[in-house]
A and B are shown apart, each in its own frame.
Chain A
Amino acid sequence: MEEQKVQDPNNDPQSKDEILNTISSSSSSNSTQQQQKELVEEEELKRLLVPDVRDLPLTPSSAVETNFVPYFAPDFIKTGHDQYVYRHANGLCVIGLAPTHLAFKDDGGVTAVDFNVGKSDRSGIKVTGKRKKNAQHFASNTALCKVCTKDTSYIVRCCVKGSLLEVNDMLITQPGLLNSAADREGYIAIIMPKPDDWLKAKSLLVGADEYKKLRELF
């Protein structure tokens, strides 16, 4: 990250000591010494905290960009069903709709999201504990939910074989999050694949550059 340049910690504590030393040699009263010391520490803290604006990027990368590696599944199962898989360094995968998904091309975009697909309601299962008890193991083509537009609906799938940790139930009441922030608050689900399964799934996904090239997004 770029913050390394913001402050150089190597010099700061040193200078503080020098100031403190001058104070202790000049000041005779204990309480004034204490007050002075606190003052110095406060200024020192401020100096450490306030960055130099010249070191800051005009637009910093977002938390999503920093923390995830984006992958895409263009035309997953069906043509135009473009989904994304954002993989965190800890192995978890956030699943969602890529900007080029057919649903966004329909008039008015997404109007509803229904997690009641397949054998169970995906939003009704509560995963608990460190060991993720109750998590369902899904294949890559298992349906996660149905997103509806004015005229039709689309099945969103896992893309990655693994345990379903959670679905974004905010979408039930706020389906519009998909239209406004599909790559953030409009994510569909979080899946935890086993390391081997991830490697298999990864080989069928494409990276951000290839996806953009494919969809002529440049």
Chain B
Amino acid sequence: MENETEAAAQVINGQVEAHVISAAEDESKLVRDAVRKLPSHAVKELLSMGVCIRCIFRLIGVSECIYSCTSLSTSALSTALEKGMCLEGDMMDNGLRIQEDSNSQHSSEEPELEPNLCRICLGILQFTYHDGKEMLMKSDCANEFALLIAKVVKQEGHQIDSFSLEVSIPSRVMENEQAVWLYMKRKYNSELWFPEQLHSEFISAKDVLKLSITNPLETLLDIKSSLSSAFRIRLTYTDSAVKIKVQKSTEMKECNKRRKTGADDMDTIGGCVAAGTDHSNSCTGEEYVGRSCNGLHNHDFPDLSQFQLEKVSEPCRLTFLCHRNPVYIGGRYLKYSRNVSQTRWIIDDERMGEASVEEIIGSNILPIFHGDNYKFHAAGREDIDVRMLGSGRPFLLEIQNARHVPSEVSIKEMERKVNNLENKLVKVKNVKVVGSQGWNLMREGEAEKQKQYAALVWISRPLEDDDLKTLSSLEDMPILQKTPIRVLHRRSPLEREKIIHWMRIERIAGSSQYCLLHLCTQAGTYVKEFVHGDLGRTHPSVGSLLGCRAEILQLDVTDVKMDCF
């Protein structure tokens, strides 16, 4: 379906670039040719049923180029059709004319000015809809409609280099077109023009809409449409009548069934019948469709002329949504404070710590991109009272629905903004824009890699030179660590083996019992517990190795060894 759109878009690219007037002439010729080939009696019948011209075209299988005739208005289309049909008027079947007459009364009830909403597409292909403020909007041609969309996109202030168009339409449209198509199949199956359409599916309303507005949008926004574009324009049509229907079926406790049939593949007769039956149960207005669908299923359907589509009084509600896929900013952060948590940490409305790395980085970078929101991811974390120094820790900031595209300038601006904050709690470095694969990169390294720490340690006796040797002689030492008491309330009680890769004691001038312990451990080691032993639950510990009591006063992460960022 998407490929069709693209292929069709390519076919008509040439036209867009051509002169507007000549393009319009080309288009009207295209329409005239298309109309000439139509089976007039079937077209008349469909018109009398209240089917719009674009729906007639797609049901009868007019080639795709016609839908991208953008300058062609609905009224011009209908004029062309009238002309075309009159030329071949004498070919018209008498029976059909009678039927048309019986319906003419119906159509004359509605004044010309009032838009006749298509009973298949509910006005979608007539570019008629209700906007968010319940205003009735009607565009005469695709260009006009595209202009409205382009205006919305521009209002949002997105910097874009391409777009992809997404359309969502109510399932009722599919139900309707299926019912009509089955009816036509039964009635005209034997006629020459029909069989060739039998095997090929007719083009969906969704695709017709896309075909109609893609080109004008490309022109208006001066960018190309691309399926892989990170910027999406989404048109969501919702059936104004559905709300009532669903309510009614809920009352009848058929809500689930109704939903299920709605989601079913409407191409199957069974699905169509089920939906039809449901409607006739829930709403009297639906009875026509219900009966006709049932009738179609039944091979002994007595009177084909009784087929009718339900009148559409309300167009669909249309909502526009412009959305850009997340922009990912990778880098490393440094945390200089022992009172700043990594993520926002609030317990019972009370903030823990004065700020968080997440908020400091996110709130400063988000405005640069004019995004809606941000998400902060980091490769592991440190306790609130542990500083993150040295290499810094890899992080990924996900900016949702960014209006501005990141550039070299904005990267520098981000670093400057965060690093020049008054309080100097957090800094960032190696900041760059990464793809969504940055996520995997970070996650992979998280569990496997080594972490380097510096701990301020006090021991219960004076430090001896042998102690320095004892600890530095140990390489890749396995330790057994029971889940520390401080996290035992929320983590599973387990005994985990971790590796201490190396240790080095740095004496502190002027003190015999204090020292700096530099150590490199496997990711996931609880370093504080490794120093004080956690009531002997981590073994061996610095205390047990030195044969004395060891206490840890502060801890800093000095290196997170990871390839990314």
Contact = CB atoms under 8 A, between A and B. Distances in A.
A55 to B, nearest CB: 10
Given A49-B558, A185-B535, A67 B338 contact: no
A155 B492 CA distance: 29
Contacts of B456: 3, 6, 51
Contact of A60 (B338, B494, B551, B558): B551
B553 A56 contact: yes
Given A14-B424, A45-B558, A94 B535 contact: yes
A13 interface: yes
Given A64-B535, A192-B489, 12 more contacts: A17-B419, A45-B390, A60-B553, A63-B532, A90-B485, A90-B488, A90-B489, A92-B489, A132-B493, A166-B482, A166-B493, A168-B535
B536 A177 contact: yes
A190 to B, nearest CB: 7
B427 A13 contact: yes
Interface of A: 1-4, 6, 9-10, 12-14, 17, 41, 45, 48-51, 53, 56, 59-64, 67, 88, 90-92, 94, 127-130, 132, 165-166, 168, 170, 177, 184-185, 187, 190, 192
Contact of A45 (B385, B389, B510, B535): B389
A166 B492 CA distance: 12
Nearest to A17: B419
B561 to A, nearest CB: 15
Given A2-B553, A3-B338, A49-B556, A130 B490 contact: yes
A6 B490 CA distance: 32
A56 B536 contact: no
Given A9-B424, A129-B492, A187-B535, A53 B514 contact: yes
A217 B161 CA distance: 79
Contact of A10 (B387, B390, B423): B423
Contacts of B343: none
Q: Which 7 A-B residue pairs are closest in the complex by CB-CB distance?
A: A185-B536, A9-B336, A63-B532, A53-B510, A3-B554, A90-B489, A53-B511
A41 B392 CA distance: 12
A88 B486 contact: yes
B546 to A, nearest CB: 15
Interface string B513-553: 01010000000000010001111100000000000010111
8 contacts: A3-B554, A13-B424, A49-B454, A49-B516, A50-B516, A62-B551, A190-B488, A192-B489
Nearest to A58: B513
B336 A13 contact: yes
Nearest to B460: A59
A51 to B, nearest CB: 6
B209 to A, nearest CB: 51
A7 B454 CA distance: 14
A41 B430 CA distance: 14
A165 B488 contact: yes
Given A60-B553, A185-B535, A92 B485 contact: yes
B425 interface: yes
Interface string B480-501: 0010011111111110000000
B241 interface: no
A66 to B, nearest CB: 9
Contacts of B554: 1, 3, 6, 51
B556 A63 contact: no
A90 B425 CA distance: 27
B164 interface: no
B485 A128 contact: no
